[in-house]
Amino acid sequence: MQENQIKNNRAIGIFDSGFGGLTVMSAISKLLPKENLIYFGDTAHVPYGSKSKKIVTEFATKISKFLVKNNVKMIVIACNTASAFSLDYLKKNIKVPVIGVIKAGSVMAAQNTKNKRVGVIGTEGTVKSSAYEKEIKKYDNKINCFSKACPLFVPLVEEGWNNGKITEDIINVYLKNLVDKKIDTIILGCTHYPLLKETIKKVIGNKINIIDSANAVALAVQTLLTEKKLLRTSGKAAYKFYVSDGPQKFKNIGSKFLGKKILTVKKVEID
C-alpha cells in the first residue's frame, strides 16, 4: 500500500461532551461516506455549556491527545462550547489539523443573510463567549447579531421530546424576542439543536433561514481534506465510538442522534 493511501486511510477524529456531536458525525458520514470516523463522547463530564474555559480546555486537550494516539488525520471539535473555548489552544498544541463548528456555521450564516440580522442560539457558555458574533463580524462587520441561550433545549432532545405542544411552547418562549428583532437567519449553535430543527421551523416560520452547523462543518472537513490531499476515496468506512462513562446509555440515545444503530461503544479513561 502506498504511503499516501495509508495516510488517507487514517480516521477523522470527532469529539463532543456527549451525544450532540453525533449530528456532526452523521453529516460528515453522509457527505464523505468513505471516511473512517472515530467519535469520543465525554459523557462523564457532560454538559460543557456551564463549565469554565479552563476546565473545558483541559478536557478537550486530553481527548485530542487520545484521538492522536489513535492515529487520526484531523480532529473535529463537534461541540460549540469546546470550539469557542479551546479551538485556538488545540490548533497550536495538537499535531494534526483541528477545526471547530463555529467558523463554518458563521460563514454560512453570513452568506445567507439578506438583511444582515442574524440570530444565534446555544448553550450559556457558547452565548457568553460571543464566538459566533466574532466570527460573523470577521466576515462582514455590518451584520447585527442577536444571541439567546436556550438551556432547556438539550434535555428536551435527550428525553426525545423533539416535537409536541410543550416543546413548541418552550421554543416560542426562547425565540420570540429573536423573531421580534426581524432576523432573517438563525444559527443552531449547539449540536443537539438539529433534532429540533423541524419544530423550530414550525414555530418561527419559513421566512427565517435555519443554519445547521453540522452540515457546514461537513463541508469544511471536505474542503480541508481535499486541500491537504487526505481524502479517502475507496473502501468501506469503519466507525468507532468511545465514551468516558455510560456506554450503554450512549448506545441507546446516541443512535437517535446518529440516525443509525450504534452497535459497539467502548468506555476509556482519559484522565
Question: 79 catalytic, yes or no?
Answer: yes
State the Cα angle at 97 between 26 and 86, rounded to 5°: 80
Q: How many CA atoms lie within 13 A of 13 on its CB side?
A: 24
Does residue 251 contact residue 265 with C-beta atoms inside 8 Å? yes
Question: 190 catalytic, yes or no?
Answer: yes
Give Cα 130 to chain centroid, integer Å: 16
Q: How far apart are CA 261 and CA 149, in angstroms?
A: 31
SS (H, E, C) 200-217: HHHHHCCCCEEEEHHHHH
Catalytic residue among 27, 28, 72, 79: 79
Catalytic residue among 28, 101, 175, 190: 190
Strands ordered across the beta sheet of 144-149: 144-149, 117-122, 185-189, 209-212
State the Cα angle at 111 between 105 and 114, rounded to 5°: 120
Catalytic positions are 79, 190
